[in-house]
Amino acid sequence: MMSAYLRHGAGRVYWFTLPTPRKASFVPYYRAIDDGFQLAAAQFPRGVHTVDIRPIFSPHGVYRQYVGPVNARERDGIHLSPAGDRIALRFLLGRMRSDHTL
């Protein structure tokens, strides 16, 4: 998928890590998925960037419903809420600016 998104070098890919889910039994799967993302991204060092949003939404690996006063997660304890999406977007835009993509 990362290769397709790169469009033969014409694109750049920013891939978010998965914040820790509320359900503890899901945590090992999320960590394995994030490890897989890192391995896959390493195959494309010039075009794929992983963006670690775990410190924002689950600092120290601990699930957090709120980021400051913002309800950042959906009721399912997995997905980001629209407000959480906006937090992630601001972080991504900052990263893209520092990479001179924007």
C-alpha span between 80 and 69 (Å, rounded): 15
The residue-averaged pLDDT of 3-17 equals 89
Q: Taking Cα atoms as reference points, which of 56, 53, 51 lies closest to residue 70? A: 56
Q: What's the pLDDT tens digit per position in 70-86? A: 999 999 999 999 999 99
**Token pair recorded at residue 81:** 């809420």
Asked if residue 22 lies in contact with residue 77, where contact means CB atoms within 8 angstroms, the answer is: yes
Q: What's the pLDDT tens digit per position in 42-57? A: 999 889 999 999 999 9
Higher pLDDT, 9 or 6: 6
Asked if residue 95 lies in contact with residue 14, where contact means CB atoms within 8 angstroms, the answer is: yes
